[in-house]
Amino acid sequence: MILVDSMRDWIISHPAAAIGAIAAVAYLVRRYLTLATAIRVVERRIADGTPIAPTSDGDRDLRIDLLQPILSGDPDLESALRDNVLETSPSARFLWLVDRDDAVGLEIARRLATEFGERVRLIETEPFDGHGNPKIAKLIVGSEAVEAPFVAVLDDDTRIDDRELDEARRALSDGADLYTGLPTYVPADTFWSRRLAEFVNNASIDTYLTPLAWSEPITINGMFWAMRTDRLRSLNPLTEIRGELCDDYALASFLRQRGATIRQGSGSQRIRTTVVSGTGYLRLMHRWLLFASILLRDQPLVRRVRLLWHLGLPALLIWGTLVALIEPLYGVPLLLLVGAGRRFLVRRARRRLGLIEVPFGLWLPTLIEAMVPLQSLHAELFRTIRWRTRTIRVDRSGGFRVLER
């Protein structure tokens, strides 16, 4: 009774600290449960699966053509393109899709194409005409040149190796119509690039893997996905979604409506995006969260509520923890507890899943996660985005128009 009375007196004397303590514990328990769910999903899948045939098996044609729409602007572009060719076997051929008016992109692609010979085919595409999705327009052109039995789409800032390609081929050979990977951001050498990497790496498991316990994949990671070439051509999804701005979700929706199966993989692709300023960071986050709002609005009510609860609750619990900063003696240790606990849980989950090690901070990633609800509200209210060289107005249904180039 003495202990209970003391705790009651402390709570009455320090209400802000009490709220913060409850929120901090709830946050860590919530993250533990969602990450543990993702691990169980993947481990159960491994236990139920069959091993892929070795790449040396002469009875299987493992050739894969990788379509890469290229747009210059990132200083890491040439390094990323080169690394992909060097880190994959000759069974992988790269089809680089570059607009004729992208002088820098063409110069890089031509130089590397000469260096790597038959491993690379450079395809010059027509400059964007302001209609439809410019990335999908390039992919439609590139898909006509595919010759391998497997085809994949890989963003120009994304790195991949044979392990991820093998996982994709195994899933497609086992009956999946589309395979998609798990994004891992490798921070570039700027403050804002590190913040972006921490945001994605903190959220990717909860976003892509945990929901598999109660739902089929709702969207895909558009930075890397693969299909069998015959299925791509028979379903013809690229032509059908060429007018959609949010192409990741549009592709997933198109395939589900036709009874196709999507396999969300646990192999991670390494993405390195250079963000040089806070403005660039905010623009990128604004675009992503606006696309997320389109996805949410399109879901049935029950699923929408569940997704909001699943993805939004952790940020709200961080805000609850921040209440404790009214009493810094308690608030600062509680915030450190959340940061350290979050880092420990995410790093542990990544090790269990076999993902590459990435750095995690304490204070800043926690505050960045807390800002997501406010940024989501901003994206809902202000629907003009900047996508590289283009300014685009997006309506609530997902329709869009290019305002300028």
Phi, then psi, of 122 in degrees rounded to 5: -95, 125
SS (H, E, C) 27-70: HHHHHHHHHHHHHHHHHHHHHHCCCCCCCCCCCCCCCEEEEEEE
pTM for this structure? 0.90
DSSP secondary structure of 263-279: EEEEEEEEE-----SHH
The one-digit pLDDT tens for each residue of the chain (405 residues) are 666 556 665 567 778 888 999 999 999 999 999 999 999 999 888 777 644 333 444 447 889 999 999 999 888 999 999 999 999 999 999 999 999 999 999 999 999 999 999 999 999 999 887 778 889 999 999 999 999 999 999 999 999 999 999 999 999 999 999 999 999 999 888 999 999 999 999 999 999 999 999 889 999 999 999 999 999 999 999 999 998 888 999 999 999 999 999 999 988 889 998 898 999 999 999 999 999 998 998 999 999 999 999 999 999 999 999 999 999 898 999 999 999 999 999 999 999 998 988 888 888 889 999 999 999 999 888 888 877 667 888 887 777 777 765
CA pair distance 89, 258, nearest whole angstrom: 33
| Alpha-carbon 143 to chain mean position | 23
Scanning the structure block, which residue is given the tokens 């098996």?
57
What pLDDT score was predicted for residue 5? 54
Instruction: Specify the 3-state DSSP secondary structure of 128.
Output: coil
Phi, then psi, of 379 in degrees rounded to 5: -65, -35
Which residue from 138, 217, 213 is spatially nearest to 177, judged by alpha carbons?
A: 217
Instruction: Specify the 3-state DSSP secondary structure of 355.
Output: coil
Span(s) in the chain for CATH 3.90.550.10 = 61-276
- CA-derived radius of gyration, the chain: 23
What pLDDT score was predicted for residue 237? 95
What pLDDT score was predicted for residue 131? 78
- CATH T-level fold of 61-276: Spore Coat Polysaccharide Biosynthesis Protein SpsA; Chain A (3.90.550)
Torsion sign over Cα 122, 127, 130, 131: negative
